[in-house]
Chains A and B, each alone.
Chain A
């Protein structure tokens, strides 16, 4: 019987190798795969390329989420829209210790969606004529300038949902969806962590956000931190 469940985050990461390109869902700390991030840190994987909206998040004097991977020097390159979200990224970047590909947020979402949907690229107005259009093909469409953007995929996508079932069907909550459903479609292997893992049939098929076809592995997250009072 098909069962995609794993019993721990670390076990679900068994074949993640040094140098892997990994997408991480989440915006700020909302919808981040916090257990998979901690497990990847414990595993010691290095030379990672991180694709995520922000490289962790800062609250007061502390940094959370992906910041632990950056601080530990595990990340070779960051692809995302908001690198100034953490001081740790700035320090690494200023020291020349991490690469950066800056992508406008909507373009990031659409590039990931394009990879997942089998689309070879698309023209978009965002960034046309700016520094971020450098080296990109541009064309005039009905009197407006557009630039060509490429699809963006990864070896792994780590995503987080509120609920999921053994087949990998996922349901998100509040603003926790963000990049998760897009990244789930765009990687060779998608690993989902959920707060509640249920048997098939327990989720209403009308309300599934990510159909299980996109998810290879699923587990119940070991621990969910709350960052706000």
Chain B
């Protein structure tokens, strides 16, 4: 089993995609770690679906407020210049294409950029804001482990889990590598330290475009 990047390194890699002035939606779980890797020179507005643009970090003991939480229901803080709004406005920001980038987890991504992250066979489904996010935000980065816990590929030819959205993912960051979703297929862009293109191929179901520099 090849380790590749740990979760912090993956979050740091995802953070490098964020430009100065971007409005960014972070999914619950691992993507929230991206908050810790924004360079001090950049102004970034983190959006949380429950009604805040300008999320700060997690609230410390003594600074929590029961009405100030993120999408994962964790107590948080807000930055100077933040704004609060109701759910319809919050989803207008996403569905209307006003948010620059979303970083979210996934169960599966297909080679066409189809995404599955809301339910699997035998599971009580929950959707939250995931379908709205992928319907409206043009730039979707998926951050996930390259394979399932029992070693099965999560990057597949066709989804076998119910889709959240189709052709919506633009980049995949896993513990093994970084890939772009292109019109021609998945393009291997970077390899984690100690990981070869062969390692990635053997852990991936779909075909990959591998540039000479990485093969």
Could you tell me which A residues sit within 8 Å of B by CB distance? 27-31, 53, 57, 59, 81-85, 89-90, 93-94, 102-110, 113, 124-132, 162, 172-182, 209, 224-229
Known: A172-B86, A182-B88. 8 other contacts (CB 8 A): A30-B67, A81-B128, A84-B124, A102-B125, A105-B49, A127-B131, A178-B86, A228-B59
Question: Residue B127 at the A interface, CB < 8 A?
Answer: yes
Question: Residue B45 at the A interface, CB < 8 A?
Answer: no
> Is A106 touching B129 in the complex (CB atoms < 8 A)?
yes
User: A127 CA to B162 CA in the complex, in Å?
Assistant: 11
User: A103 CA to B84 CA in the complex, in Å?
Assistant: 23
Chain B hits for A180, CB < 8 A: 86
> Is A82 touching B126 in the complex (CB atoms < 8 A)?
yes
> Is B84 touching A82 in the complex (CB atoms < 8 A)?
no
Q: Which 10 A-B pairs have the closest CB atoms?
A: A106-B91, A28-B73, A106-B132, A176-B67, A228-B64, A84-B126, A109-B87, A174-B68, A125-B135, A27-B50
Question: Residue B105 at the A interface, CB < 8 A?
Answer: no
> Is B84 touching A229 in the complex (CB atoms < 8 A)?
no
> Is B69 touching A175 in the complex (CB atoms < 8 A)?
yes
> Is A175 touching B75 in the complex (CB atoms < 8 A)?
no
Candidates B132, B163, B165; contact of A107 at CB < 8 Å: B132
Q: Chain B at the A interface: mostly helix, strand, loop or mixed?
A: loop
Question: Residue B61 at the A interface, CB < 8 A?
Answer: yes
Candidates B62, B129, B135; contact of A81 at CB < 8 Å: B129
Among B64, B130, B132, the one with the most A-chain Cβ atoms within 10 Å of its Cβ is B132
Could you tell me which B residues sit within 8 Å of A by CB distance? 48-52, 59, 61-62, 64-69, 73, 75, 78, 84-88, 90-91, 94-95, 119, 124-132, 135-136, 162-166
> Is A174 touching B84 in the complex (CB atoms < 8 A)?
yes
Q: In the complex, how many residue pairs between chain A and chain B have their CB atoms under 8 Å apart?
A: 153
User: A82 CA to B129 CA in the complex, in Å?
Assistant: 9
> Is B61 touching A28 in the complex (CB atoms < 8 A)?
no
> Is B50 touching A57 in the complex (CB atoms < 8 A)?
no
Closest to B94 in A: A106
> Is B132 touching A132 in the complex (CB atoms < 8 A)?
no
- A192 CB to nearest chain B CB (Å): 14
22 A-B residue pairings within 8 Å (CB atoms): A27-B69, A27-B73, A27-B87, A30-B66, A57-B73, A81-B127, A105-B49, A105-B128, A106-B131, A107-B131, A109-B86, A109-B87, A113-B88, A126-B131, A126-B135, A172-B84, A173-B84, A175-B51, A177-B87, A180-B86, A224-B66, A226-B66
Known: A27-B69, A81-B129. A177 touches B86 (CB 8 A): yes
User: A128 CA to B131 CA in the complex, in Å?
Assistant: 9
> Is B51 touching A131 in the complex (CB atoms < 8 A)?
no
Chain B hits for A89, CB < 8 A: 124
User: A129 CA to B132 CA in the complex, in Å?
Assistant: 13
> Is A181 touching B86 in the complex (CB atoms < 8 A)?
yes
Chain B hits for A94, CB < 8 A: 124
Candidates B87, B91, B119, B124; contact of A90 at CB < 8 Å: B124
> Is A125 touching B95 in the complex (CB atoms < 8 A)?
yes
